[in-house]
């Protein structure tokens, strides 16, 4: 089991997003709790970089290792980082619990070290018919962000094609 967490910070907005994955082939469970939002739907995405040195803008575009267009979380064609919308109630509080098959905490496509962002506007899920629909879901400004970090045991799979290893996979546990 691998666990990770991001602490979201923005002007009057705060929250936590927890991630867990039981194995490399398992879905990632995402649990979020955010306060300080305006009531309604807000785009919720994982972005490419774990860099928040210049605010949330430093995080770059949506995490998209497969080069697809923006889409809904349940769509086959979507960025891996497209989580759709998180909905804030009348008090500005939002919670979310979803399972996602395209996200990974384990392996070369891990989201650990990337940034999760909550946006000002509703994500149109790539269906808005405007230019930004295909790249950002036209979700607007970046309100709050946090870098996804984890404390876990992981393995590095090293396959040595060498007579000394007899073509046997070697696992290094760190």
Active-site residue, selected from the candidate residues 47, 100, 114, 124: 47
Q: Which are the contacts of 153, defined by CB distance < 8 A and separation ≥ 6?
A: 173, 174
Catalytic residue among 42, 70, 78, 114: 70
The one catalytic residue in 42, 78, 114, 119 is: 119
> Exactly one of 62, 78, 100, 124 is catalytic; which is it?
62
Separation CA 138–CA 13 (nearest Å) = 21
Is residue 26 within 8 Å of 100, Cβ to Cβ? no
List the catalytic residue out of 42, 82, 114, 124.
82
Which one of 42, 45, 78, 114 is the catalytic residue? Answer: 45
Q: Is 66 a catalytic residue?
A: no
Residue 59 in 3-state DSSP? helix
Task: Answer yes or no: 47 catalytic.
Answer: yes
Residue 167 catalytic?
no
- The neighbour count for residue 37, using CB atoms within 10 Å, is 24
**How many residues are listed for the chain in this entry?**
174
Identify which of 44, 20, 11 has the alpha carbon closest to the alpha carbon of residue 103: 20
Task: Name the DSSP class of 12.
Answer: T
Which position among 42, 78, 79, 114 bears the catalytic label?
79
SS3 131: helix
Catalytic residue among 42, 78, 114, 142: 142
Catalytic annotation on 70? yes
- By annotation, the residues acting in catalysis are 45, 47, 62, 70, 79, 82, 119, 142
């Amino acid at each position: 089991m691998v666990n990770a967490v991001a602490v979201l910070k923005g002007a009057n907005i705060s929250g936590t997003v927890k991630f867990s994955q039981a194995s490399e082939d398992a879905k990632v469970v995402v649990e979020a709790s955010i306060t300080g939002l305006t009531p309604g739907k807000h785009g919720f995405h994982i972005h490419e970089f774990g860099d928040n040195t210049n605010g949330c803008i430093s995080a770059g575009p949506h995490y998209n290792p497969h080069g697809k267009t923006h889409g809904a979380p349940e769509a086959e064609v979507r960025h891996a980082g497209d989580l759709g919308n998180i909905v804030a109630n009348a008090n500005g509080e939002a919670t979310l619990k979803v399972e996602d098959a395209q996200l990974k905490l384990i392996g070369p496509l891990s989201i650990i070290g990337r940034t999760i962002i909550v946006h000002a506007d509703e994500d149109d899920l790539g269906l808005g018919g405007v230019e930004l629909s295909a790249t950002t879901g036209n979700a607007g400004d970046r309100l709050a962000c946090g870098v996804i970090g984890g404390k876990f045991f992981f393995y590095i799979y090293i396959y040595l094609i060498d007579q000394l290893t007899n073509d046997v996979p070697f696992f290094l546990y760190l």
